[in-house]
Amino acid sequence: MNSADYQQLFFSTIQRAPGQPADDYEAVLGASGIPAGYKPYVVPDCATMPFHAMTQQIGTDGRIAGRIFLPASGPDENGYYTHPFSPLKDGPTPGSLVWEWRDLGIGQPVADPCGSAGGEGGEGGGTGLTEAQVQAMIDAAIAPMQEQLAGLDGRVYALEAAASQPFHAHGAVNLPIVVESLTSMRAKGDIDVDVKPGTAMPPPETGGGDEISGAKLLFWLRRRNDDDEAEG
């Protein structure tokens, strides 16, 4: 089939003729059974596509655009195997429409997947990818991303598992003990330590000699502070 054959198929399908009023084109095309255009890189297929792969433009909201697509011998710059035709033109009065069949001259030559190509003839069908092949390419492109996501899931699980374990501070602590009064003393300063997983263990006892009572220790610290101030 060439474009003239598709013209005859189109008008016999919608039961209209070129030049007749087309103000009701949305209802006519909507009831025609001509399917919406196929996705990019889908090669026209006679076995699965009705009307010799002729389609029409239908928006995602179901709006009929009034544009017919014939199958093409190859993809356009966006990957569509279509050649657009306009079935509408302005009528004799402002705002009116009439039916027509006008080649918009975009895309590759018309090629009937069930027979001969458009134009002056020749072999049709062209070469390209089937819908299953396109889906396989998409799956192959997504597979590495899925593997990366799986790796991230493992790392997140490891972090969560580590965070649920106890931690302890590890490192030297050297804080001055400041006597605030005869009954109060406290350690002041910053602690610079590393946090490591595990349970904190008390250090071994390193002191020796007799135990010093709290009162004696306060007295000794107070006396030491007085000596430091005297030397200053």
Q: How far apart are CA 90 and CA 122, in angstroms?
A: 34
Helix/strand/coil percentages in the chain, nearest 5? 30, 25, 45
Closest CA to 38 of 102, 139, 143, 128: 128
Question: At 191, phi and psi to the nearest 5?
Answer: -110, 125
Distance CA 141, CA 167 (A): 42
- pLDDT tens digit at each of 232 positions of the chain: 889 999 999 999 999 999 999 999 999 999 999 999 999 999 998 888 999 999 999 998 999 999 999 999 999 989 999 999 999 999 999 999 999 999 998 888 998 888 744 433 333 334 445 566 567 667 776 777 777 777 777 778 777 877 777 766 656 666 666 666 666 666 666 666 666 676 766 666 655 555 555 666 666 666 666 665 666 5
- pLDDT reported for residue 124: 39
Q: Are 124 and 109 in contact (CB under 8 A)?
A: no
Going from N- to C-terminal start, the domains of the chain cover 3-133, 165-199+215-227
Report the predicted TM-score, pTM, of the whole model to 2 decimal places: 0.51
> Quick check: 68 and 54 in contact, CB under 8 A?
yes
Q: Residue 55: beta bridge partners?
A: 69
- pLDDT given at position 145: 73
The set of residues, in sequence order, having a beta carbon less than 8 Å from that of 56 and lying 6+ positions away, is: 29, 32, 34, 35, 36, 37, 64, 65, 67, 68, 69
> Which tokens in the block code for residue 230?
């005297």
Q: How far apart are CA 114 and CA 5, in angstroms?
A: 13
| pLDDT at res. 159 | 79
**Would you give the end-to-end CA distance of the chain in angstroms?**
110
What residue has token string 């969560």?
A: 160
